[in-house]
Amino acid sequence: MRYKGKVHKLGDHIDTDAIIPAKYLVTYDPAELGRKCMAGLAEDWVDRVRPGDIIVAGRNFGCGSSREHAPVAILGAGMRVVVAHSFARIFYRNAFNRGLMLIELGDAVDRIADGEEIAIDTEAGLLTLCSSGRTIAFPKLPGFIDRLVQGGGLIAYVKNRLAHSGA
């Protein structure tokens, strides 16, 4: 899969309550959750985001509670991928299950500036800094993950597989 967008850089240990504060968990509607994405950091954070933009974060992104609303809020805000130094394990699994692509870069994440445009090719395992053309390699995810994300997450993927299997 390929992604291209403007970077919105965040720090370390961005927890799920920063991504979508508990007071907004009265809905599971992606569009409503998306309007409050990162409201735990700044109420107007999402106003700076355009569809296709990319979050780039530090260590342990998605720590805190295991709420599945967090990746849904990011998707609802129009972002399809998050790049980080590292992710909290439960967020990591929830994100793929909901159809959000995650890329772990380790210390190489420090080479990406806020506001920069980046391009990501998950099949090649390459992130390109568009301003300089410099690339950052990352470990490719199993092909199943690309198919899961392309299919809209685990539930949509399984429903589609069952519909086409005759079961």
- pLDDT tens-digit series, residues 127-137: 999 999 999 99
Cβ atoms within 10 Å, residue 160: 13
Q: What is the pLDDT of residues 92-113, one digit of tens each?
A: 999 999 999 999 999 999 999 9
pLDDT of residue 151: 86
Phi-psi region of 120 (alpha: psi -120 to 50; beta: other; left: phi over 0): beta
Q: What is the DSSP string of 141-157?
A: PPHHHHHHHHTTSHHHH
Per-residue pLDDT of the chain (167 residues; tens, 9 = 90+): 999 999 999 999 999 999 999 999 999 999 999 999 999 999 999 999 999 999 999 999 999 988 899 999 999 999 999 999 999 999 999 999 999 999 999 999 999 999 999 999 999 999 999 999 999 999 988 888 888 898 888 888 888 888 888 65
* Of the candidates 80, 78, 72, the residue with the CA atom closest to the CA atom of residue 30: 72
What is the model's pLDDT at position 28?
92
Domain boundaries, the chain: 2-165
pLDDT of residue 146: 87
Does this model's pTM top 0.85?
yes
Overall fold of domain 2-165: Aconitase; domain 4 (3.20.19)
